[in-house]
């Protein structure tokens, strides 16, 4: 008999690519959360990173997306936005790594989502955040490491 994991019963909706967003989702999944990854129609950018036996199933993608389910959703289309709202209504945590202007255009901003889903925990991961000298700049792990020395 295995012990229950601390996040069993928690559902996470992940809309993230590259490194820190997917890794955060991976850690939540490792702790028992039900993580659902939304991918754009063209697939996650990391599907082609690293060695692979199958096309679009690179080793980095497989490693950082373990313990997740995934669904292809085009958030630019009306149907995709409806799917997002339906999933958000059944979700405890929304995790995304989009820059704020893009999230706002897609209705993924905190103000929009929290009105309809008051219990939703909103987690936006960003390299430089929304305030300060570098606010809104695109970034991922390697860029932050280089910038910090």
What residue ranges do the domains of the chain occupy?
Answer: 11-148
Distance CA 48, CA 102 (A): 23
pLDDT surpassing 90 at residue 1 = no
Q: Could you tell me the pTM of the whole model?
A: 0.89
Q: What is the CA radius of gyration of the chain?
A: 16
The C-alpha atoms of residue 4 and residue 14 are separated, in whole angstroms, by 22
Does residue 10 come out as left (phi exceeding 0), alpha (psi in the -120 to 50 range) or beta? beta
Minimum mean pLDDT among 9-18, 63-72, 139-148: which range? 139-148
Q: Assign 147 a pLDDT band (cuts: 50, 70, 90).
A: confident
Report how far apart, in Å, the C-alpha atoms of 72 and of each of 11, 14, 49, 121, 134 are: 18, 12, 19, 22, 31
At 45 the pLDDT is 86
| pLDDT tens profile 35-92 | 999 999 999 988 888 887 888 788 888 888 999 999 999 999 999 999 999 999 999 9
Instruction: Inform me whether the pLDDT recorded for 123 exceeds 90.
Output: yes
**Residue 141: pLDDT above 80?**
no
- pLDDT at 14 (0 to 100): 97
Question: Tokens for 68?
Answer: 């997740």
Look at residue 145 in the predicted model and tell me its pLDDT: 85
pLDDT in tens, 88-108: 999 999 999 998 888 998 888
Q: Which of 83, 86, 110, 80 is nearest to 98 (CA)?
A: 110
Q: Which CATH architecture has domain 11-148?
A: 3-Layer(aba) Sandwich (3.40)
């Amino acid at each position: 008999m295995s012990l229950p994991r601390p996040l069993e019963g928690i559902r996470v909706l992940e809309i993230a690519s590259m490194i820190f967003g997917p890794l955060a989702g991976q850690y939540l999944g490792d702790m028992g959360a039900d993580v659902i990854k939304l991918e754009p129609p063209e697939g996650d950018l990391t599907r082609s990173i690293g060695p692979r036996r199958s096309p679009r199933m690179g080793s980095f993608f497989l490693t950082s997306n373990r313990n997740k389910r995934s669904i292809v959703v085009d958030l630019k289309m009306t149907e995709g936005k409806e799917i997002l709202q339906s999933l958000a209504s059944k979700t405890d945590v929304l995790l995304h790594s989009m820059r704020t202007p893009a999230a706002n255009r897609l209705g993924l901003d905190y103000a929009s989502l929290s009105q309809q889903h008051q219990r939703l925990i909103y987690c936006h991961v960003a390299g430089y955040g929304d305030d300060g000298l570098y606010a809104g700049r695109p970034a991922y792990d390697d860029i932050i490491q280089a910038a910090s020395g």
